[in-house]
Amino acid sequence: MSNLNFKEIGQIIRVNAGKDISLSTPTLILQPELGETKEITTGVTIPNVQVVTDAETFEANEYIEYTTIIDDLDYAGRWKKKAKLEFSASNIEQTDFEKFRVLP
């Protein structure tokens, strides 16, 4: 993932799960180096189309996607992101954290 900008609106954030997650309820977890962790559920989707970027291929139904709004990226510096996937009340899985940077 390329660098993002402070309070950038409309930037797509994707997290690859590497397996079919279409039957789960997704949550995007964004964790800044300083400040509070954000657990985002509204607007997080599991697209059923493949996306190929310069760095990674996201297979259909195997990644979550979210488009940033004004207050999401409210810290300039290092961040981590991951997906929390609830398949049932007793089956909740999480991906590993991936690092990215938010520029001032």
Average pLDDT over residues 79-85: 98
Is residue 101, in this structure, part of any structural domain at all? no
What single string gives the DSSP state of each residue in the chain?
---EETT-SS-EEEEE-SS--TTSEEEEEEEESSS--EEE-TT-B--SS-EE-SS-EE-TTSEEEEE--TTTS-S-EEEEEEEEEEEETTEEEEPPPEEEEEE-
Share of the chain above pLDDT 70, in %: 99
Residue 60 lies in a domain: yes
Q: What is the CA radius of gyration of the chain?
A: 13
Domain assignment present for 104: no
pLDDT, one tens digit per residue, over 17-60 is 999 999 999 999 999 999 899 999 999 999 999 999 988 999 99
CB atoms within 10 A of CB 14: 18
Which residue segment(s) compose the domain that 58 sits in?
Answer: 4-86
Determine, yes or no, domain membership for 46: yes
Contact of 61 with 46, CB cutoff 8 Å: yes
Look at residue 68 and tell me if it is in a domain.
yes
Is residue 49 domain-resident?
A: yes
80 falls within a domain: yes
Total domains in the chain come to: 1
**What is the pTM (predicted TM-score) of this model?**
0.93
Say if residue 1's pLDDT is above 80: no
82 vs 64: CA distance, rounded Å = 9
Domain annotation covers residue 62: yes
